[in-house]
Amino acid sequence: MDDLPLELKQRVCSYLTPKDLKSLRLTSRDYVAATDRYLLPRIFLFNHPDSFQEIQDITNHPDLRHSVTTLVVDTSCLRSLPKYQDWARYFEHDRSTSTNQVDARTQRSLRRDRNRARWMKYQERVLAQRSSTKSMLESISLAFEKCPKLSNLIIECLSSNTTPGLLQKTSRFYYDIQAHEIPTSCFQLCLTSTEYCIWDLLKPVHDAGRMLESLVLLNPCITSPQDWTMPTTTIFHRLKHLRYCGDPSKSLASITIRAAELQSIGMIGTYSEDLCSFQSLFGGSVLHNLRACSLDFLGLDENDLVQFLLRQSDTLQELRITPESWVSRVIWRSFANRVRGQLPNLRRVRLHRLGERTRPLPNGLSTMWYLKAADILQDHAYALEIGPREIDNGLWKEYEKLFFPGKYK
């Protein structure tokens, strides 16, 4: 193996996971160089000066920048806690003290002085973050300009859906303002989201002349004017995978209308009172490559849903609909009758607790009728797949589990 030329060693490394590559790097210096191109497929960007510097270091590295395929942008920032007591609720820790009364007072005084110094540093960081929007956008631009394989973008702010790995990495950037090692779930309460215009976050991709292959917008705090439409751009012309968690908006519609090559869609609503209109999101066009669709907690209109699914019937292989919003206007028996036998290519179906109340029984009680996969499958050409789901290139398991729960290869 050591006698192989560098090109063949790099070819071998292209089949290994980042975890395996880290072990391989320990075998020899030659493999350190060979693994660089595949060691760092995903990089994170936080509202923190150390993160901005990390992006610069990676994009200036002659080999590492060639391995980056995904950029995760965390739009959260420190919450404003101007009073020491507010800060102490999250960060101060009442540790055990000496039984000697004098020593105990001394320890409390020293700890209070240290904590106040950290609180002052916290205030400095809060002020710095309020004026660091330009640095965030410049870092996104730098990544897309210098990483030739970068084509997947994840934009999120810390929330209950945030993956543990991202929480731990965020906490690492803020270690200098913590009075002790607090749980990540507690530190999460000290963060809030920064409001961005969606085009400001996407414009660096446009300016670099790049096209996205996947886009994940997870609980984004993004804005757009009421009458806003996205400027003419080609960054969505090759978009294959779209994931969105939040209330459907005009900015989402502006994206989907331009993404004619979509292969999968995952949407999670937030129990909004407004119905999600597929007509407003996709118009009447057919997505000729749509294979997978997951819809969670969206207010759905029956006609809208049926027409959308039937337009994609030639290609749709996976359908997932989980608990409908309380504003849903879908009558599930009627829905089943209208799509039965009309989706012949389905291979994965998950319909979770979609039902209707039946007529009251003589004792005054009522039962529920639940929609099942068999209710919409008739003379089905394919056997349903129940094994692990494959992860397409550019997608990440911890995010996919939010939209398509299940086992993965």
Q: Could you read off the pLDDT of 343-383 as tens digits, one per residue?
A: 999 999 998 888 877 766 666 666 778 888 888 988 888 88
On whether both 294 and 350 belong to a single domain, the answer is yes
On whether both 204 and 332 belong to a single domain, the answer is yes
In a domain, 373, yes or no: yes
In a domain, 67, yes or no: no
In a domain, 190, yes or no: no
On whether both 24 and 92 belong to a single domain, the answer is no
Rounded CA-CA distance 385/136 in Å is 43
In a domain, 1, yes or no: yes
The yes-or-no verdict on residue 98 having pLDDT over 70 is no
Residues 320/350, Cβ–Cβ less than 8 Å: yes
The yes-or-no verdict on residue 31 having pLDDT over 70 is no
Q: Number of folded domains in the chain?
A: 3
pLDDT tens track for 163-208: 767 777 777 777 767 655 666 666 777 788 888 888 889 999 999 9
On whether both 88 and 35 belong to a single domain, the answer is no
In a domain, 174, yes or no: no
Residue 299 binned pLDDT confidence (cut-offs 50, 70, 90):
confident
On whether both 28 and 90 belong to a single domain, the answer is no
For the chain, percent of residues with pLDDT exceeding 90? 28
Whole-number pLDDT of residue 183: 63
In a domain, 154, yes or no: no
CATH number of domain containing 231: 3.80.10
Residue with the two structure tokens 């068999």: 374
On whether both 14 and 112 belong to a single domain, the answer is no
In a domain, 398, yes or no: yes
312-328 average pLDDT score: 82
Rounded CA-CA distance 149/141 in Å is 14
For the chain, percent of residues with pLDDT exceeding 70? 74
Q: Is pLDDT larger for residue 83 or for residue 228?
A: 83
- Give the domain extent around 260: 195-403
In a domain, 79, yes or no: no
The yes-or-no verdict on residue 213 having pLDDT over 90 is yes
Q: pTM for the whole thing?
A: 0.84
Residues 40/50, Cβ–Cβ less than 8 Å: no
Window from 4-18, 200-214, 225-239 with minimum mean pLDDT: 4-18
On whether both 95 and 25 belong to a single domain, the answer is no
On whether both 33 and 100 belong to a single domain, the answer is no
Whole-number pLDDT of residue 97: 45
On whether both 105 and 245 belong to a single domain, the answer is no
Residue 137 phi, psi (nearest 5):
-65, -35
Whole-number pLDDT of residue 113: 76
